[in-house]
Amino acid sequence: MESRSDIHELLMLKLTGGLSKDQQEEIDALIEGDPEVNEAWKHLQEYYLLHEKRRADFDSISATDIMAGVKDRVFSLQPRPAFSTGKWITAAAAALTGVGIFIYAFTKTNHSSKVLSAVHKNIPAKSVYLELQNGQIIDLSGGEQYQKTEDGQVTLNNNRNTLTFIADRKNSGLNKLIVPHGKEYSIRLSDGTEIRMNAGSTLQFPFGFAGSSREISLTGEAYVKVAAAAGQPFTVHTPEATIQVLGTEFNINTYSPGKAAISLVQGAVKVLAGKQKVVLQPGFQAEYTTQNGINTHPFDKNDVLSWLEGEYDFRETPLSEIIPILERWYDVKIITDHPAVADKTFTMLIKRPEGIKAFLEMLKVIRGADYYYKNDTIHIK
């Protein structure tokens, strides 16, 4: 029987029409005669062809992509030492039922559990927490819904993974909301602006906006729905760019140092970065890098905003770009054992609730890339 990796890729090549006539006949005979291979074939078809989004992803997979993962192997169905496919079938079945994620932000925020513990030992590790301007730390991952600040001037409502608040008086001092890796969280500001924060993000905001402007600061990624307020423009500061808004919806991604991406869904925003400025129209994205300045182009909502639905839709994406997303989403550490592995590209739909294990098992199916755990780190080989 074929090796495990050969069977994976032969079945994928059958889906993409990448087999020769002789290979097609032989793999068909193997599917017909081996119950485990037959089951694997059914799972592949169900995964890619019976789900609308994955079917669209499948259209962009080519036989060349699959062959890239096995270019050093010969695809001929000559008898080889038998192996047990049972364990693989079980794992593949779990993986093929789904996987999960996509993010559009790039600035590493290192508010890890170690930092959190150093700030306040009473707050559990990996918690979403609020650091007030006076230094008070409030855990937002616990079960307590209503809390008052120590000075008694603000009542916090932590409900359904969203923070709202009522302040007795306007206070323009900046508070810091920290969302660690593995978490998501939302906040409604005093003016009604709604901000949904992705994993590994930090927001600085006041309990009340005073004067003629509304200003916040963000690192990481967030979807912002700004409440309209005539005569009081809204400004978002990021490490690389400043966004000026007048009632709009947009996604902002600042995960990577030296890079920021602002994707406008509705309204209009002005992006200022370096010595450049540009006014965006809905459906366009401003991508800024320190090397190339601002580049404006249309964006695909399915790509940029899918993280809001707990999904990532990767299309011909190098593993090196996927890994940071998975690390933020699942709060794990991943490394590749060989540089060539990091350069491999993948097209797949990842669903967050299905966990990191499902993604890792899909690597086997698509590229025969195995993995193992060592010292709390996932190694892909």
Q: What is the residue-wise DSSP string for 222-247?
A: EEEEPPP-TT--EEEE-SS-EEEESS
260 shares a domain with 126 = yes
179 shares a domain with 67 = no
119 shares a domain with 84 = no
Q: For residues 270 and 242, give the distance between their C-alpha atoms in angstroms, rounded to a whole number.
A: 8
* Range(s) of the domain holding residue 68: 4-96
pLDDT tens digits for range 107-144? 333 433 333 333 444 566 689 999 999 899 999 987 77
Query: Would 75 be classed as within a structural domain?
Result: yes
151 shares a domain with 75 = no
Domains contained in the chain, number: 2
Looking at every residue in the chain, the average pLDDT score rounds to 78
232 shares a domain with 123 = yes
**3-state class (DSSP) for residue 259:** strand
The model's confidence at residue 145, banded by pLDDT at 50, 70 and 90, is confident
Q: What pLDDT score does 57 carry? A: 52
Q: For residues 247 and 110, give the distance between their C-alpha atoms in angstroms, rounded to a whole number.
A: 31
What are the residues whose beta carbons fall under 8 Å from the beta carbon of 72, sequence distance 6 or more?
none
Residue 55 has pLDDT above 70, yes or no: no
267 shares a domain with 118 = yes
Kind and range of the H or E element at 40?
helix 35-49
- What's the whole-model pTM score? 0.71
Query: Would 366 be classed as within a structural domain?
Result: no
Q: Which of 240, 196, 203, 200 is nearest to 218 (CA)?
A: 203
* Structural contact between residues 358 and 99, judged by C-beta atoms closer than 8 angstroms: yes
Query: Would 202 be classed as within a structural domain?
Result: yes
pLDDT tens digits for range 284-334? 999 999 999 999 999 999 889 999 999 988 888 899 999 999 999 999 999
Query: Does residue 341 or residue 86 have the better pLDDT?
Result: 341
Place of tokens 């006041």: 206
Query: Would 124 be classed as within a structural domain?
Result: yes
Q: What is the residue-wise DSSP string for 125-161?
A: TT--EEE-TTS-EEESSSS--EEE-TTS-EEEEEETT
